Amino acid sequence: MIAMRIVVPVKQVPDLVEELELNSEGSDIDREFVKFVANEWDEQALEEALLIKEAVGAQVSVVAFDEPDVDQTLYTALARGADEAVKLTGAGDGWLSTAERSRLLAQWLSGQSYDMVITGVQASDDLDGQLAGTLGGLLGVPHASVVVGVEPGSGSVTVTQELAGGTVVRTEIATPCVLGMQTARQAPRYAPISRIRQAMSAGGLESVEAPGEATGPTDGIELLRLYPPEKAGRAEMISGDAPAVAERIVEILASKGLVKL
């Protein structure tokens, strides 16, 4: 029996711990000085794929576009237990919109055999939470987002999706399918640096020409202005050290009658 193949598309996103500066045209963030990190939800997707591999056997292929520091992310995936890491090159200058990413990934996937595509439910850049659904729509296969459980069956998977308020629904979906992973059954495993180095020296990263190039912004949507949210209505910042701040918070709560001084 041929083991199933799970493809995990991953991406790099700006580290939001840092300040985001705009470029001189104000049309995008300034990518020059931004630190890029692996999208945390993609790590959930990879973890779930690896858990499925361990439970029932699967070939896990991680795929990414050529983005800043993506090699590190791909080698980390190999160190964690992925069987294959593919870097799609030549698609654009370091960053792709989700619309373009979806289109190119769909093209690449249509030349691949796969049972499941599992990707992060969202990424904090342009089209938050759109990749799984867009891929599903373009590939014409069933898809589900906000997935918190995957039970592989024969020719199908049963997925658990979270709705509002913690309510969940379970649906049996035929494979191939595309899933947007919210949370894997366990926290993403740790890959020791030594194993990442091993993966690097083994050189298991496969560079493949992307099936096309970026074509620019989505037709019919024009960016007028990019800006940080208005500071009006922002919190009044309490100054001082921790004891002084604690004192003030207690005063505020007392002034609302919520605690007694």
Q: Considering only residues 29 through 88, tell me which ones interact with another protein, judged by CB under 8 A.
A: 29
Minimum CB distance to another protein smaller for 194 or for 239: 239
Is there a contact between 49 and 32 (Cβ–Cβ < 8 Å)? Answer: no
Using CA of residue 130, residue 72, residue 14, residue 92, what is the dihedral sign? negative
CB of 101 to another protein, least distance (A): 12
Binders of another protein among 91-130, rule CB under 8 A?
Answer: 99, 102, 121-122, 124-130
- Distance CA(141)–CA(146), nearest Å, equals 17
Q: What angle do CA 214, 219, 221 make, to 5 degrees?
A: 115
Binders of another protein among 149-188, rule CB under 8 A?
Answer: 158, 161-174, 180, 182-183, 187
Is there a contact between 8 and 62 (Cβ–Cβ < 8 Å)? Answer: yes
Q: How many residues bind another protein (CB under 8 A)?
A: 81
CB of 207 to another protein, least distance (A): 28
Minimum CB distance to another protein smaller for 87 or for 143: 143
Regarding 144 and contact with another protein (CB under 8 A), the answer is yes
Do the bridges between strand 36-38 and strand 12-14 make them parallel or antiparallel, or are there none, so unpaired? antiparallel
Query: Could you identify the residue written with the tokens 């208005």?
Result: 230
- Distance CA(241)–CA(24), nearest Å, equals 38
- Burial classification of residue 116, based on how many CB atoms lie within 10 Å of its CB (0-12 exposed, 13-18 middle, 19 or more buried): buried
Minimum CB distance to another protein smaller for 55 or for 168: 168
- What is residue 87's DSSP assignment? E
Minimum CB distance to another protein smaller for 128 or for 206: 128
Among 58, 132, 150, 199, binds another protein (CB under 8 A): 132
- Distance CA(4)–CA(238), nearest Å, equals 56
Minimum CB distance to another protein smaller for 193 or for 237: 237
CB of 206 to another protein, least distance (A): 28
Binders of another protein among 4-23, rule CB under 8 A?
Answer: 14, 16-17, 19-20
Minimum CB distance to another protein smaller for 172 or for 213: 172
Binders of another protein among 204-223, rule CB under 8 A?
Answer: 218-223
- What is residue 57's DSSP assignment? -
